[in-house]
Homo-oligomer: A and B are copies of this chain.
Amino acid sequence: MLEAFHVREEDAVRVSSADLRMSVQAMFEHCGMPPEDATLATEVLVSADDRAVDSHGVTNMLRYYMDGFAKGTINPVPDWRVIRERPSTATIDCDRGLGIVIAPKAMEIAIDKAKQTGMGMVTMARGGHVGMCAYHAMLALPHDMIGVCMTAATVTVPPTFGAKPRLGTNPIAVAAPARNETPFVFDAATSTVAINKFRNAKRLRAEIPPGMLATIDGTPVMEPSLVPDFYLPLPLGSTREMGSHKGYGLAAVVEVLCSVLSGAGFVYRDGPYHHMVAAYAIDAFTDVDGFKDTMDEFLRALRDTPPAPGQERVLYPGLYEAEEAVERAEHGIPLHYEAVEYIRTMCAEWGLPCEL
């Protein structure tokens, strides 16, 4: 079932991360991005492919970004500014610049503030798509900090008991360093699955399990089904009895912290995207060495949990992605052939380098 959300081997073209980056960078620059920003955008986008977060990588997102530049909904040269600031906080107006470019810069501000006061938090109004939230949270790790990133996305998800969408899939990412273990990297939509994963499943005509989506009137579908043409994703928890009010509530928390707190309104009324990043300096709370040693033991305790009958092993957040990153560095990234064809076509049309 999980494989339904990855590109199937028979649809995949294996490409090297370096070749992919070369063309993607050129495409961003062609759309008017300054080279430094294009480098950053490429790094954030292809990092998702490197880590097997296909839902937020090139296959799903590159064409969306290119279309945004063409339509003018994404500003390639944003005049983003800090519009309010305190010793530990800031709010940025992103001027419709891509979140994948501005969020790493916002995270730098948060990290600087955390160095001064112990923690930093930056809200970001009117940014474009932020990509894989984990990327920004992980920027805190080399500074011995815990990193956080959230984003208020396009409205697609109904509240519990609701028949119409009012919130986005609104993901939350939290990254924390360890000593020898793979870092803890949590990154998850507050819906049952990220909306891009439905797109992947639909493209692959893969059957999805019960409890993942609702019919267009808001009724949870509790049998296995294909992804229909019209549907609503469900909040994490699927039904009220299983806790969907918690997924719904978490999505609303993300909306408050990203949209309302940045002064950008809320997505249902004012449109996406708005983000929040934060950094907590570990040494502001406890000894860094002790923290990392404890994290190692905690994470080992999790992955050493005896598996339930029929299960192979227990993972912890970030472990699978780190293992996949090693595998993909060796064997290449399995992009959907349509995405590869798209890049080849655009690079040919725009006269850009392409080794794919």
Residues of A that sit less than 8 Å from B by CB: 1-2, 84, 86-89, 91, 116-119, 121, 123, 146, 158-164, 166, 172, 174, 176, 184, 186, 188-193, 209-212, 214, 217-219, 236-243, 245-247, 249-250, 252-253, 255-257, 260-263, 265-266, 268-269, 280-282, 284-287, 290-291, 294-295, 297-298, 301-302, 305-317
Contact = CB atoms under 8 A, between A and B. Distances in A.
A107 to B, nearest CB: 16
A333 to B, nearest CB: 23
A266 B84 contact: no
Contacts of A193: 243
Given A188-B246, A236-B236, A236-B243, A305 B121 contact: no
A246 B241 contact: no
Contact of A159 (B158, B209, B218, B314): B314
Given A252-B302, A280-B121, A301-B166, A218 B308 contact: yes
Q: Which of A219, A247, A302: most chain B Cβ within 10 A? A: A302
B291 A261 contact: yes
14 contacts: A88-B118, A159-B305, A160-B314, A162-B305, A162-B306, A163-B305, A186-B253, A188-B246, A189-B246, A209-B242, A236-B236, A238-B238, A261-B286, A263-B285
Given A146-B261, A242-B242, A263-B287, A158 B308 contact: yes
Contact of A263 (B214, B217, B286, B309): B286
Nearest to A316: B252
Contact of A265 (B166, B294, B310): B294
A89 B145 CA distance: 13
A145 B282 CA distance: 24
B247 A163 contact: no
A72 to B, nearest CB: 26
Contacts of A265: 294
Contact of A317 (B162, B239, B252): B252
Contacts of A186: 249-250, 252-253
A301 to B, nearest CB: 5
A15 to B, nearest CB: 28
A199 to B, nearest CB: 17
Contacts of A176: 256, 260
Q: Which 10 residue pairs across A and B have the least CB separation, nearest first?
A: A218-B308, A86-B118, A89-B118, A263-B286, A209-B241, A162-B305, A161-B311, A88-B117, A188-B246, A87-B117
Nearest to A278: B119
Nearest to A235: B243
A306 B242 CA distance: 21
Given A88-B117, A89-B118, A188 B243 contact: yes
Contact of A256 (B184, B210, B217): B184
Contacts of A191: 243
Given A86-B281, A89-B284, A256-B174, A309 B217 contact: yes
Q: Which of A146, A245, A265, A294: most chain B Cβ within 10 A? A: A294
Given A119-B121, A159-B314, A161-B311, 18 more contacts: A86-B117, A86-B118, A87-B117, A123-B285, A123-B286, A146-B256, A164-B305, A166-B301, A184-B252, A193-B243, A212-B241, A236-B237, A256-B298, A260-B294, A261-B282, A261-B291, A266-B294, A269-B298
